[in-house]
């Protein structure tokens, strides 16, 4: 048995559902490829959201152990703040990925 490599044979590539659609829509807006470092507001919002939610849950545990203390309202405020930060980051990510109306004209 002798295996002859075929130069015309293409390498197998796994394609996720919607991969071609995602690649095609990325090139219509004529923006350069964007890394997360070029959008610091998204990274900052995600980091603040994660930290606020985690701190809210930790303080919430303490607040449930001491129901008359101020820890439970502070924990709920931190959780809501973290969720708002995550929603802002999600909104900015979606708006950044969508092609603008001006580029379609």
Residue 23 φ/ψ region, left for φ over 0, alpha for ψ in the -120 to 50 degree band, beta for the rest: alpha
CA distance 44 to 95: 16
Burial degree of 29 (CB within 10 A; 0-12, 13-18, 19+): middle
What digits encode the pLDDT tens for the residues 20-60? 555 555 555 555 555 556 688 999 999 999 999 999 999 99
Structural domain count, the chain? 1
In a domain? residue 68: yes
Domain boundaries, position 44: 37-98
In a domain? residue 22: no
pTM for the whole thing? 0.60
In a domain? residue 52: yes
User: What does the block give as tokens for 9?
Assistant: 């044979």
In a domain? residue 4: no
Name every residue whose Cβ is closer than 8 Å to that of residue 103 and which is 6 or more positions away in sequence: 28, 29, 30
In a domain? residue 58: yes
In a domain? residue 25: no
């Amino acid at each position: 048995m002798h295996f002859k490599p075929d130069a015309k044979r293409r390498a197998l590539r796994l394609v996720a559902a919607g991969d071609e659609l995602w690649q095609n829509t990325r090139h219509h807006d004529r923006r350069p490829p964007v890394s997360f470092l070029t959008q610091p507001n998204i990274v900052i919002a995600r980091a603040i959201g994660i930290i606020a939610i985690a701190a809210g849950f930790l303080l919430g545990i303490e607040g449930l152990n001491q129901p008359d203390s101020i820890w439970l309202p502070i924990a709920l405020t931190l959780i809501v703040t973290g969720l708002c930060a995550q929603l802002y980051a999600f909104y900015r990510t979606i708006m950044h990925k969508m092609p603008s109306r001006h580029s379609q004209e």
